[in-house]
Structure 1
Amino acid sequence: MLPPRCLHRHVVTALPSQSSDTVRRLSLLTHGLTSACYRTRTHVAVSWASVTRRHAGTISARLSQAGGVDKGLPDGIKVYEAEPLTVQKSVFVGRACKLEDPSHVLDVLAWIMQQKGVEKAAHPIIYAWRCRVNGLVQQGDDDDGETAAGDRLARLLELVEAENVLVVVTRYFGGVKLGPSRFKYISQAARNALDAGGLLQRQSEKAATRSSKKRR
């Protein structure tokens, strides 16, 4: 069972289904935590509590402390795992799944934390999700101590126009600092996972969908 206060930085945005500057209110209830944010066209960071780096306040640290219970995946959710991407001894593992309900995010993250070797990673669960709920696109992300990495994944999901998906990247540090290029590998691991799960809509399919909407 997850702790009553899961302390981590969570970014949530609500995007109108049609272009508009109207400020929308999004209330997200996740494991007893209610958080509201407002958005026009910019990302809004919502802190559920004070945030510290890896050892005390990251999402993976909090989920580790929750331990003790075998957390299974919610019904109907299958997590796809891509082949590990190794760069100068650092290893990046991408995982992705369909996600119809944002309230299942922490359940999936808790399940991933239980997988062999994940908890020992430098950054176990860098993630982003994007769902359409009641006509609005809601999205969130978390860096898990790898500053700005969660936002990169969120931007990837926007770029590929992915909806109703959660993507998670686990990074194992190999002793060699990769600098800014690490973000490229994190994004690539995420894309590989989306591809492994068939969650990337092909450009031809996107074009057909847009064309169909225009004819209506």
Structure 2
Amino acid sequence: MQTFDGIISDRGSKYAVSGGACTSADEAKVFLKTLRKTKKFAKATHNTWGLLAGDTPIKNDDGESGAGMVILRMLEREELRNHIIVVTRWYGGKHLGGDRFRHVQDAVRYYLDRL
């Protein structure tokens, strides 16, 4: 598991991105459980993720509607399979509107650039 914390901050919201090898929905659950063992990530507002396991796209918005699809599209473009990417957000008290999707993209790009 690789995690980059504090990579984006906007209007009080803070973002991190994590990822690692993952081949199924069950492994994704284990990955998220491991991530949430860190108290900070357990208290996050959203842990949104995407995974291309074989030919099956799997995602979870975790309350951040549409964010999982943003992650999946980026994984598809990179042809990155069997690798989960989780974008974590701690809500800062102000709505970000459409900027939240840009932040998800930026977080995933940050991760992909460091693979």
The TM-score with structure 2 as length reference comes to 0.89
Of structures 1 and 2, the one with the larger relative CO (CA 8 A, separation 6+) is 2
Instruction: Give the drift of 1:129.
Output: 0.5
Matched, 1:158 2:76: yes
User: Please, which runs of 5 or more residues in structure 2 have no aligned partner?
Assistant: none
Residues 1:168 and 2:86 are matched in the alignment: yes
Partner Cα separation in structure 2 for residue 193 and residue 120 of structure 1:
22
In the alignment, structure 1 residue 145 sits paired with structure 2 residue 63 = yes
The counterpart of 1:126, out of the listed 48, 59, 62, is 48
User: Which position in structure 2 is the counterpart of 1:73?
Assistant: none
What's the counterpart of residue 2 of structure 2?
80
Distance verdict in 2 for CA 1:126–1:110, change over 3 Å: same
For residue 115 of structure 1, report the CA deviation from its aligned partner: 1.2
Check whether the contact 1:130–1:140 (CA below 8 A) recurs between aligned residues: yes
**Residue in 1 that maps onto 2:40:** 117
Matching residue's letter, 2:89: R
Q: What amino acid sits opposite 2:35 in the alignment?
A: I
More helix by share: 2
Aligned letter for 2:43? K
Q: Which has the larger radius of gyration?
A: 1
Taking a change above 3 Å as real, the CA distance of residues 161 and 169 of structure 1, as seen in their structure-2 partners, is: same
TM-score by length of 1: 0.49
% identity of equivalent residues: 27
CA contact (8 A) 1:95 1:194 kept: no
| Cα RMSD, aligned residues only | 1.4
SS in 2 for 1:82: strand
What's the counterpart of residue 187 of structure 1? 105
Query: How many Å separate the matches in 2 of 1:169 and 1:160?
Result: 17
Partner residue, 1:98? 21
Compute the displacement of 1:141 (Å): 0.1
Q: CA deviation at 1:194?
A: 2.9
Q: 1:115 to 1:195 in 2, by over 3 A?
A: farther
Q: Secondary structure at the match of 1:117?
A: helix
How many aligned positions are there?
Answer: 113
- Mind listing any 5+ residue stretches in structure 1 that lack a counterpart? 1-78, 199-216
In structure 2, the CA distance between the partners of 1:130 and 1:112, relative to structure 1 (3 Å rule), is same
